[in-house]
Structure 1
Amino acid sequence: MNFKTFLFGVLAVGAVSGGAYLYLEKRHTAEIQAARLEEAKPIAAPAVTVMKVTTENFVETAAVSGSLVPREEILVSPEVDGLRVLELLADEGDKVKKGQVLARLVAEQLDAQLAQNDANLARSTAAIAQAESQIVQAEAQAKEAAAQLDRAVPLKQSGYLSGSMYDQRESAARTTQAQLLAARDGLKAANAEKAQVEAQRRELQWRRSNTDVTSPEDGVISRRTARIGAMAAANGEPMFRIIEKGEIELDAEIVETEMKNVRVGQKAIVTVPQVGDFEGKVRLVSPEVDKTARLGRVKIFLGINPVLRIGSYARGRIETASSRGLAVPSSAVAFDHDLASVQVVSDNKVHRRVVKVGLVTNDLIEIKDGVSEGDLVVTRAGTFLRDGDVVRPVLPEPRLSEVK
């Protein structure tokens, strides 16, 4: 019984071991076959975001910033020094016309000087009349003395007139002739004095007429420093500052490298914070660049606009060039030294193409040569893609604003 039991146990163990071996062998074979099938499956191509080449409008701009200033600023100072301000007839912000009275100065002192000048003019006129009468008298005396001398000559020769009497007549003729010359010189002096008095009068009248401080041109008063009772001075602070015709422009700084593209007459958009955007034109491009800051200066004419205030900060964009051409995202272009290239996906394969770039607007670059409209380009250059790589191009979903 014991031997049979042992034999039966041995047979049972062998059967179990054989079955386990067959199971494991079959399982191993199945795993190998599954691995081979998995290896035989095709590898899925990586997804790559692409964009279609489209035609867009390009406008290249140069950025500037600065302050609003008058196109031309007029400094109004008194023509007459030493007079006090009597009256102010205009204030800051007022629109004024050419010749309009802005202020009046005290004129009493000049009026008194004019009255004194009138007296001096009357005296000089009387002196001229007196000198003229003296000339008439001197001429008559000289004529009479000359006639007596002429009559004395033949009498002296015939012996009827003594030498002493002849000498007296000759002396009288010379004396009256000298008196005539003196009278004529007196008239010249009187005329000169009158001319001097008249010149003083013209100066006084000019000073009197300029006690009214007027505007030399149409414009808008930007600042008034004059005060009633203050002494007017031609060499001091101007009484008024006027924006000629109310015209304003942007006096701005620009990066040195962008100045080469800026030209007089180019359009510009000037933005004044909290006010708005305004159209303008480049009026002046300075020929000088600051050697320390490496910045140049441009002036953008904005014209007449009541909402603009001089001294305000503003920034501008000058349109330096414009075109219409093929566009790709800026991130799609790779630059290697002087060469630019993009990666085009065609038949699910990547192809590198050298391109010629043009203008840049926002996040788009103009492509002048190398691609065609409708081509698919990889949106991000520099990815680990090579020529011939198989990819799965994916177009981005359109933004809500682009959905029709």
Structure 2
Amino acid sequence: MNMKRMTRLAASAAFVAAIAAGALALPESMFPAVAEEPKPAAEAPKPPAITVVPAVRKEVVQTAIVVGSLVPREEILVGVDLDGYRLTDLSAEEGDHVKAGQVLARLSTDMLDVQLAQNESSLARNDAAIAQAKSQIAEATAIEAMAIAALDRGQSLKTKGFVAQDALDARESTAKTAAARRDAAAQGLALAEADKTLTEAQRRELQLRVSKTEIKAPTDGLVLSRSARIGAIVSGGGEPLFRLAEDGAIELEAQVPEAELAQIAVGQPVTITVQGIPNGIKGTVRLVSPKIDNTSRLGRLRVALPPDVKVNAGAFARGTVELARHESVTIPVSAVVTTAGEATAQIVVDGKVRTRPIQTGISGKGLIEVVEGISVGDSVILRAGTFVRDGDAVTAVEAPSEGAKG
């Protein structure tokens, strides 16, 4: 049984192998052809991509940057009019706000006190001399009156023959002498009064010197610096003892190129940046110099700061001056090409580049005003004149907005 089974299995295997060999030997024409997929047609290349931005109506602010230092609007120098006096007291320090008439320092008055005492004595002597002169005038006037009366009687008696001529001459001489003494006494009074006037003038001078030993602030202000030292001998021709900023007013003084200076006017707003102050200070143009330096071609500009701002004189500051503000059609500055004074911009219309002449206005913060030549919504090439020419076919790709960039 086993042998028969094995024989049948061997015959079956041989039959399968024969069928397989026959199938492999069949010609290809006996099998149906398999259809191949058609190859896709070649696509036309796209025009090069170009970045565009839409022209929009927006406010443009044109500014100018100025740099300089903070200085007092008016610097007041406080010195002395006396020489050789010692400074004995100080009542003000740098940074103090002082009022007009406030005592800042004092000088020694010892020498002046002695001179005033001497002057007081001289005035007493003058008063005594005046009183004595007046007494002499009164005495001389009385003697003169008696002499005149005696002369009158003598002249009356002479006509009657009772008085000799010699006696009459004596009486006349006495009368003249009395008049002379009265005149001399009057001159003595005038001299005594003149001496008193001189002494009084000297007293006023001494009192003025005493008042000047108190060094006072001539106006309200901020003490910027103090060179006064207790014990120092002051001199009228020396360095000022104090420097004040009148009313505490501090300004930005800047040197500006003449081209920009011509666009700046008094009253224009200015944003001032000072190191250490996080927020910008709002100022106003107070003065525009009418003169340009012949060498540097710069002009002077003064910007007033608010009175309550806390800044240090001498600090470096930067100011942004607003020159003009317009709301108009705007495009990026990079979209404008200027050739021989003529401005142009490129826009994309129906996939084609078109170059348009434009009339521009003010510019600021990367934008420029277009007065004529561009309308709101036009697709303006962001960087004109660099990659494409008029008539080129392009694929417009709008630049991401500022919000998208963030």
The two structures have a TM-score, normalised by structure 2, of: 0.86
Alignment match, 1:116: 118
Deviation string 1:266-322 (CA, Å, 9 cap, x unpaired) is 110111234342111111111111111111100111133563111111121111111
- Of 261, 266, 274 in structure 1, the residue corresponding to residue 263 of structure 2 is 261
SS in 1 for 2:305: strand
Distance in 2 between the 1:151 and 1:399 partners?
128
Alignment match, 2:357: 354
Change (3 A) 1:351 1:401: closer
- Of 247, 250, 269 in structure 1, the residue corresponding to residue 249 of structure 2 is 247
Instruction: Note the C-alpha offset of 1:123.
Output: 0.5
Alignment match, 2:186: 184
Aligned residues: 366
- Of 374, 377, 382 in structure 2, the residue corresponding to residue 374 of structure 1 is 377
Deviation string 1:227-251 (CA, Å, 9 cap, x unpaired) is 1111122221111111222211011
- Of 43, 46, 52 in structure 2, the residue corresponding to residue 44 of structure 1 is 46
Alignment match, 2:312: 309
Instruction: Note the C-alpha offset of 1:82.
Output: 2.1
Contact 1:83 1:106 in 2 (8 A): yes
SS in 1 for 2:137: helix
Contact 2:84 2:233 in 1 (8 A): yes
Distance in 1 between the 2:123 and 2:346 partners?
98
Distance in 1 between the 2:228 and 2:188 partners?
50
Distance in 2 between the 1:147 and 1:402 partners?
125
Alignment match, 1:166: 168
Instruction: Note the C-alpha offset of 1:375.
Output: 0.5
User: What amino acid sits opposite 1:135 in the alignment?
Assistant: I
The two structures have a TM-score, normalised by structure 1, of: 0.86
Alignment match, 1:329: 332
Instruction: Note the C-alpha offset of 1:58.
Output: 1.3
Question: Is 1:340–2:334 an aligned residue pair?
Answer: no
Change (3 A) 1:268 1:306: closer
**Cα RMSD after superposing both structures:** 1.9
Which one is further off, 390-399 or 239-248? Answer: 390-399
User: What amino acid sits opposite 2:185 in the alignment?
Assistant: A
SS in 2 for 1:132: helix
After TM superposition, the structure 1 = structure 2 runs for residues 1-400 of structure 1, keeping only pairs within 5 Å, are 42-276=44-278, 277-305=280-308, 307-400=310-403
Alignment match, 2:3: none
Q: Which runs of 5+ in 2 are unaligned?
A: 1-38
Deviation string 1:341-383 (CA, Å, 9 cap, x unpaired) is 1112111122221111111102111111111111101111213
Distance in 2 between the 1:260 and 1:367 partners?
23
Distance in 2 between the 1:306 and 1:396 partners?
43
SS in 2 for 1:304: coil
Distance in 2 between the 1:178 and 1:268 partners?
85
Distance in 1 between the 2:402 and 2:68 partners?
36
Alignment match, 1:12: none
Distance in 2 between the 1:235 and 1:181 partners?
50
Instruction: Note the C-alpha offset of 1:97.
Output: 2.1
Q: Which runs of 5+ in 1 are unaligned?
A: 1-33
Contact 1:249 1:303 in 2 (8 A): no
Instruction: Note the C-alpha offset of 1:121.
Output: 0.5
Instruction: Note the C-alpha offset of 1:56.
Output: 1.8
Distance in 2 between the 1:393 and 1:282 partners?
45
Instruction: Note the C-alpha offset of 1:122.
Output: 0.6
Contact 1:78 1:234 in 2 (8 A): yes
Instruction: Note the C-alpha offset of 1:46.
Output: 2.0
Contact 1:342 1:381 in 2 (8 A): yes
Contact 2:61 2:365 in 1 (8 A): no
Which one is further off, 393-402 or 79-88? Answer: 393-402
User: What amino acid sits opposite 1:196 in the alignment?
Assistant: L
Deviation string 1:173-192 (CA, Å, 9 cap, x unpaired) is 11111111111111111111
Distance in 2 between the 1:57 and 1:401 partners?
21
User: What amino acid sits opposite 1:100 in the alignment?
Assistant: Q
Contact 1:247 1:305 in 2 (8 A): no
Distance in 2 between the 1:70 and 1:379 partners?
47
Instruction: Note the C-alpha offset of 1:401.
Output: 5.3
Contact 2:282 2:306 in 1 (8 A): no
Distance in 2 between the 1:321 and 1:157 partners?
113
User: What amino acid sits opposite 1:370 in the alignment?
Assistant: G
Distance in 1 between the 2:378 and 2:405 partners?
20
SS in 2 for 1:160: coil
Distance in 2 between the 1:51 and 1:255 partners?
34
Deviation string 1:168-218 (CA, Å, 9 cap, x unpaired) is 111111111111111111111111111111111111112112222122222
